[in-house]
Structure 1
């Protein structure tokens, strides 16, 4: 459909020199699919592919092209995806005489080199906020491997445009893979937010069919359930290992909102009035309401946590009460020592090298949710026996799929029995679904199993309900906490998985380094 010229020259010929060095490159021309003769030519080492007069032989197809700008954007997207898949290869894209994209070849295909390449394509912010993802599963033909990087939940986007998926080095857009990514981040993001990931799946060619789409952007796996479980498991493991780490860009964004006030003269030359002095002669004790965080969470605060209070010595200088060792040990905690509560919503804590600001509602929401999941894993899903068993009519194929998974479904609270041809009898459901439409729930479950080949979707729905309950059952903004409760909150955050973000992907805390604070005051 075009006039294509391929010019290639091996790397070793570039250093050979000599009389025939200029002719060491070879050129091949293809015109409308017809291969021309292979000819010697001049050229630098490497391969250059040049395409001209696209669809010159089929003008009808030419009319379906979009604007030059849109097509240039599409070409750029293809080149960027190829660059992500092959970090050991350098790429350069020039349009209308202007270089729009260029990355140099990485020395190897290690995790560091791949992350460098991904940061070069997806942006340096992704590189700073990415966690490595890795997994391996055994198949009949050998092994399937998953490598890549995922952005922290707090590094999320409004669209799924920063989700890049590759199968055997080929960029793909696959519903199964996208669904697996969405399922893995179910606990961490609101429905209208999307994670940033770059995942690379390698497996035997017999395990995947790449010929189900003309552009080969969609694939069909022989065992889609295994692929999905591998991706979901690897992503959740990677996020769990990240602990309470939050996006580094959150603090950077916060610092940009600070402005240094001008204390120059007023419009008439007079000096502005100074702000009122705070009375520091009396300590200001913040009393928590009865039944504060320590009681709600079921967490017992560490001994002496937060007992330090502000006192005034005879010289009028405020000092922290308690032993110096106690203060130093508390400040050495990752989230520091609680110093104050701001607007009955934010906990201010001092760390060894800066300041941590915690959103008490978002943080406690994550803690409650993780505790609910632990209880569910330890005690199993609570079931509710239906007073009148529900008969749900399905087609025979859907019925067979459900009954084949009946054991898995029972583990998550659904007790189903076959009820003749094309129907199932529902005897028990998870208690969390007691208000749901049972028939619609079973139909949705059958559809999910048909698409994904697993009952993971219902687990995600259970977790979604737990997330909602955690949101309503956590400490609200506007709740006054005392120092013991604030420190108990910080200590539990340090030991709870995913404590860096709430269930909707928002950060639970922001950390400002002392060096950045000093810059605000011109000390650096």
Structure 2
């Protein structure tokens, strides 16, 4: 494909396909003469186009040149200028077809003034080519804009390879493959890890029976699948390919064929949510690992301090303080703690997240893995672990409740009490039993046993706020996930708590065995790794 001025002045599309004979080329420019429907069953459309209107419509408002040559035959050329054939004859070109559009809306100024800027039209053309290239990984694509090659993708062996080539090369290492079948519906594609996200949803590609679409139902299903695993202002990177019988989907609801309607939308939405979550469950504790260049740039050695005294001249320690005398260049030594090693530490090679070596700022666990250093946010990690425990307990029936010795009264505004009272049966499934206690208060009788010594007032207040922010269109399952996430935050290990080495290692081992433990309930990463190669670079060893 070749563009000039974003496609406003010229668009050229060429292929190396089977080509067309002169009669076929003439018919391609006649309205409704290239319908691909084998019969009158318009509800069973299986091709991208079917009414034969695109080329004649373009030729009626622009100068259109078509050249085509079948293998083993001569080429032929036909030129149509705003609906009138102005030239026709032999053409020299390799086997295939070449179509050139020029002077779009030159004679329809009322339409031309509504075209967007060259940059916007160029972005739209490039996005269309990307989506077509994803749908057909067996075909090579290239795009030139104003004499500059801007996109080149070779024929790929698989969809994941093509998707990574067209979106972000790092996606190949930070994504999971989707392969899910339910009845006659097949869902495939790739989905980025929850920690591999973007600020806008421009990297969500959806295909139905090979057709690129932009459908609200599918986008909502993606959002639901990533719920509680991604920050609310971030968007997943996914490419989903849904294949189903043509009788189960209507593609003729929008002239651009970008919107579709399903016979059973609930089944399709459930398939996408289940397929995505199953694939993400298989990712386990994986998280985006490559630190950014900006983060690595912070690990720089401090400049040497001039006139540093020799160690022999350092001040002597004095009882009762770290140093009684200080200079401008010397600060107090960090205070550390040590524990007796009753047994040799475990081997790092047997654990993906390594073994605990210490704790920093009473918030981050430092572990040594076979290939690098691992930093774990203890609160974020334990928050995810508690949430997954609650989900597992809820799937088994009901979460165990822990009765309060004395029921606690929590004062709230009337609207918040109304919301909690309406959701009381759902909250009871989590072990949180509430009763209305007047107009502006709720009585807390039990809290979830999984949370331990929870703060009833803070928990109920946060739940009231979350319920107020819920969309009424959310399903019961999605509302329960929101509730579970809020409760898990209150029941997790807080930052600022000192952990023993045994507790740190227990946290690491449970993270390795728990799905989605690579991100907290708000979508932030729970652990990061600094590869040994990066450590060696920081010290100039490589």
TM (norm. structure 1) is 0.71
Task: Tell me the alpha carbon deviations over residues 469-495 of structure 1, each in whole angstroms, 9 at most, x when there is no partner.
Answer: 111221111111111111111111111
- Provide the residue aligned with 2:481 in structure 1: 463
Name structure 2 gaps, 5 residues minimum.
1-60, 312-328, 402-424, 430-446, 449-458
Q: Are the counterparts in 2 of residues 332 and 351 from structure 1 also a CA contact under 8 Å?
A: no
Preserved contact between residue 128 and residue 248 of structure 1 (Cα < 8 Å): no
| Contact 2:195/2:525 (8 A) holds in 1 | yes
1:130 aligns with 2:190: no
> Of residues 331, 356, 365 in structure 2, which corresponds to 1:338?
356
CA distance in 2, matches of 1:502, 1:493: 11
Correspondence list, 1:288-299, <5 A: none
Go from structure 1 to structure 2 and tell me whether the alpha carbon gap of 1:379 and 1:513 turns closer, same or farther (over 3 Å shift).
same
Q: Does 1:214 align with 2:214?
A: no
Counterparts of 1:386-401 in structure 2, within 5 Å, are none
Which position in structure 2 is the counterpart of 1:118?
A: 163
Task: Give the one of 251, 257, 272 matched to 2:298.
Answer: 257
Query: Conserved in 2, the CA contact under 8 Å of 1:251 and 1:510?
Result: no
Q: Which residue of 1 aligns with 2:365?
A: 347
What is the match of residue 416 of structure 1? none
Aligned to 1:405: none
CA distance in structure 2 between the aligned counterparts of 1:232 and 1:501, rounded to whole angstroms:
18
Q: Report what 1:191 is aligned to.
A: 232
- Following the alignment from structure 2 to structure 1, what is the Cα–Cα distance between the partners of residues 518 and 349? 19
Change (3 A) 1:183 1:257: same
Deviation at 1:73, TM superposition (A): 1.3
* Alignment partner of 2:343 out of 303, 322, 340: 322
The answer to whether residue 337 in structure 2 is matched with residue 284 in structure 1 is: yes
- Per the alignment, residue 84 of structure 1 pairs with 134
Aligned partners of 2:471, 2:331: CA distance in 1, in Å?
63
Residues 84 and 118 in structure 1, CA contact (< 8 A), matched pair in contact too: yes
Counterpart of 2:64 in structure 1 is 4
Q: Are the structure 2 counterparts of residues 240 and 38 from structure 1 closer, same or farther at C-alpha, using a change threshold of 3 Å?
A: farther
Structure 1 position 9, deviation (Å) = 4.5
CA–CA separation in structure 2 for the residues paired with 1:132 and 1:253: 30
* Deviations 1:387-423, CA, capped at 9 Å, x for gaps: xxxxxxxxxxxxxxxxxxxxxx99x97xxxxxxxxxx
Residue 61 to residue 114, structure 1, CA distance change in 2 (3 Å): same
- Cα gap change, 1:36 to 1:241, in 2 (>3 Å): farther
Q: Deviations over 1:154-179 (max 9, x none)?
A: 00112211111111222111110001
CA–CA distance in structure 2, aligned partners of residues 102 and 91 of structure 1: 6
- Once superposed, which parts of structure 1, at least 4 consecutive aligned residues long, lie more than 6 Å away? 34-38, 272-280, 431-437
In structure 2, which of residues 278, 293, 313 is the aligned counterpart of residue 237 of structure 1? 278
Range that drifts further, 207-216 or 35-44: 35-44
2-side partners of 1:239 and 1:40: how far apart?
A: 56
Paired residue for 2:528?
510
- After TM superposition, the structure 1 = structure 2 runs for residues 356-375 of structure 1, keeping only pairs within 5 Å, are 356-375=374-393
2:444 alignment counterpart:
none
Q: 1:125–1:249: 8 Å Cα contact kept in structure 2? A: no
SS at the partner of 2:376?
strand
Summarize the alignment of residues 11-90 of structure 1 with structure 2, pairs less than 5 Å apart.
24-32=74-82, 39-90=89-140
Cα drift, residue 250 of structure 1: 4.2
- Deviation string for 1:289-347 (max 9, x for gaps)? xxxxxxxxxxxxxxxxxxx73xxxxxxxxxxx634xx532x552111110000011100
Checking the alignment, whether the CA contact within 8 Å between 1:210 and 1:219 is kept in structure 2 is: yes
Rounded Cα–Cα distance in structure 2 between residues aligned with 1:215 and 1:272: 76
Residue aligned with 2:502, SS = helix
Structure 1 unaligned residues grouped into runs of 5+ = 14-22, 287-307, 310-320, 384-408, 414-430, 449-455
> Which secondary structure does the structure 2 equivalent of 1:249 belong to?
coil
Residues 340 and 348, structure 1, Cα contact 8 Å, conserved in 2: yes
- Paired position in structure 2 for 1:485: 503
Q: How many residue pairs were aligned?
A: 411
Give the drift of 1:381. 7.5
| Cα distance in 1, alignment partners of residues 196 and 539 from structure 2 | 29
Superposed displacement of residue 68, structure 1: 1.3
2:215 equivalent to 1:168: no
* CA distance 1:114–1:135, shift in 2 (3 Å): same
Per-residue Cα deviation, 1:176-199 (whole angstroms, up to 9, x for no partner): 000100010013012212111011
Measured after TM superposition, the shift of residue 499 of structure 1 is: 0.7
* Offset of residue 52 of structure 1: 1.1
Match of 1:390 in 2: none
Q: Counterpart of 2:475 in 1: which secondary structure?
A: helix
2:24 equivalent in structure 1:
none
Residue 501 of structure 1: how far off its partner (Å): 0.8
Deviation of 1:382 after TM superposition, in Å, equals: 9.2
What is the deviation of 1:231? 0.5
When the two chains are superposed, the root-mean-square deviation of aligned CA atoms in Å is 3.4
Whole-angstrom distance in 1 between the partners of 2:220 and 2:513: 30
Does 1:203 pair with 2:222? no
CA distance in 2, matches of 1:222, 1:37: 48
Matches within 5 A, 1:139-154: 143-154=184-195
Question: How far apart are residue 284 of structure 1 and its match?
Answer: 2.6
Moved more, 228-237 or 1-10: 1-10
Matched, 1:97 2:147: yes
CA-to-aligned-CA distance 1:417-465 (integer Å, 9 cap, x gap): xxxxxxxxxxxxxx9999999xx99x965xx3xxxxxxx7221111011
Change (3 A) 1:130 1:33: farther
Matched residue, 1:318: none
